[in-house]
Structure 1
């Protein structure tokens, strides 16, 4: 037998108020209908729950027993409803976000700040890595989301922005609006990462088209170390706009846009397939996309309409 929760609520209210008339008024249910509900409830249980007198109603012994259990049941249901609504307003859970190393310093802090402000119960972990490591982390579901290059992401990934590549040198080497062709870059002493990295692959492809080779003077993994080497005068490098924007603004580095051909790389939001996203992951994704759009408008990268 399954108890009717609606009738249970009616019974509790009648027993608490000691009156069908008062219960009818508070519940917004006509008194005849309320009486019919209670008769049906008693028939369902096979026991009398209420003593009806000219001065009102009182719970029978069986009614008192039910009342003690009903209050606990209805309180638990109310708490479950409140918790569910709270989850809808303030989602909880762990979310792991991977971001390409070159843009992680720019992108991670505003994402963390906005998530902390809007969704304080989401436990967000951010990790940086190269595109291959991020792809592996998505495939193995180590990350729920990853901002990475479209060349390694799944076909189901979502485009975020197209980032212009810049030749980066020490402070004062390039004017703010300077441009260089790919042909000119091939003669420069370059500090580059190893061959598995996207920008190097792109440049070597362009060099091959020209029948030439890159002039790599040093191999350094890591954007921070590369920029330190540039500041020390050990060579130049090619980085995305996001990696150099802040340095250019404060004057610690200078940069010239790569043109003829204009070189860009597309960054996308990659996610596991055949694995439904949690509410927390969905909200972090929305925050991330909003931050990307805002930073693009502020000039942290040359943000084109990604389709």
Structure 2
């Protein structure tokens, strides 16, 4: 039979005070009940642990052996409790966050700053990736969290927002205040697009099929930075979410027009592995991310429609 932790605590306190009366007062336990617990403990171990004397209670040789182990056990339990409470208050550990490359420039730095300020013991790693890579990283549990496209992520992923899509061209090509551009006009632009595994490419090919048009594809480039560099150099146009070109648009490095009509948005979601309990650190990073997304939307840092929460 396993030793009763409560009885060990009582035994330790009696040994500390050398008195049943003082120990009972300290513990808030009736003295007869305390005596009963000690008698039960001695019967369980088949040894005498305490000896009553006119001057108080004395620990026997066997009791001294048990007391040494008891004190070590109680200390370890107290340390475990303190460490658990500290973890809840100041979570520690590694958290891996994957972010769609086009969104990362907007949300990565705010998330890092807030996490560092609030939870300096969390080691947060942020990795950029395309939608398919992020989906794979969630399935293999390489990432704890991932901001990804809704149509690529798991169906159970948490919706974040719907981001408007823009036709993007060299600086000065599109004028500020100009009317949105139709999808038909967009397909006629000399387009620089990623390969067919990317969400925007899939959307444009679907629209081209509906309109019985061909995409005027002039270049295939993998990578957001390279695509934008090619546009600035005059090689063509592309279609991106607002988050991907917001800073470039503000600086005047690129020009952009929103796509006209309904449905030309992309839903960003927060995905996480299944059957993989989240640590306190992961939960806190998740909360920070949700706050950053909400604040950026409210501040007008992108044009987005808050997704309906499920």
Q: Tell whether the structures are fold-level matches, with TM greater than 0.5.
A: yes
Equivalent position of 1:143 in the other structure:
143
Cα root mean square deviation, aligned:
2.2
Cα distance, 1:164 vs structure 2: 0.2
1:43-122 → structure 2 map (5 Å cutoff): 43-122=43-122
Q: CA deviation at 1:224?
A: 1.2
CA distance in 1, matches of 2:245, 2:155: 29
Partner of 2:237: 236
Per-residue CA deviation, residues 187-235 of structure 1 (Å, 9 max, x unaligned), is 3232222232211221222223222222233322211112222223332
Identify the range of structure 1 (174-183 vs 56-65) with the bigger mean alpha-carbon deviation: 174-183
SS of the equivalent of 1:123 reads strand
Distance, in Å, in 1 between the alignment partners of 2:201 and 2:3 is: 69
Q: How many residues were matched structurally?
A: 307
> Matched residues in 2 for 1:142 and 1:235: separation?
36
TM-score normalised according to structure 2 size: 0.89
Hey, what does 1:201 align to over in structure 2? 202
CA distance in 1, matches of 2:43, 2:146: 60
Q: Report the 3-state secondary structure (helix = DSSP H, G, I; strand = E; otherwise coil) of the residue aligned with 1:221.
A: coil
Q: Deviations over 1:239-285 (max 9, x none)?
A: 10111112222333232111134511111222223443344333332
| Partner-residue secondary structure (3-state), 1:180 | coil
CA distance in 1, matches of 2:295, 2:263: 23
- Structure 2: how far apart are the matches of 1:226 and 1:281? 33
1:1-307 to structure 2, matched below 5 A, reads: 1-178=1-178, 179-261=180-262, 263-307=264-308
C-alpha distance after superposition, 1:72-131 (max 9, x if no partner): 111111112222222333333333222211112222222222233333333332222211
- Distance apart, 1:9 and its partner CA: 1.1
Distance 2:175 2:22 in 1: 82
Which deviates the most, 182-191 or 274-283?
Answer: 274-283
Q: 2: CA distance between counterparts of 1:262 and 1:6?
A: 64
Q: Quick one: distance in 2 between partners of 1:233 and 1:301?
A: 25
Q: Verify the 8 A CA contact 1:246 1:300 in the aligned structure 2.
A: no
Farther off after superposition, 274-283 or 200-209: 274-283
Q: Given the two structures, how large is their TM-score scaled by the length of structure 1?
A: 0.90
Residue deviations 1:277-296 (CA, integer Å, cap 9, x gap): 34433333222222222222
Distance 2:52 2:107 in 1: 69
In 2, Cα distance between equivalents of 1:237 and 1:250: 18
Q: Secondary structure at the match of 2:215?
A: coil
SS at match of 2:8: helix
Give distance in 2, aligned partners of 1:176 and 1:6: 74
Q: Distance in 2 between matches of 1:69 and 1:290?
A: 48
Runs of at least 5 residues in structure 1 that lack an aligned partner in the other structure: none
Moved more, 272-281 or 232-241: 272-281
Distance 1:201 1:282 in 2: 33
Distance in 1 between residues matched to 2:167 and 2:241, nearest whole Å: 9
Q: Describe the shift of the 1:47–1:274 C-alpha distance in structure 2 as closer, same or farther (beyond 3 A).
A: closer
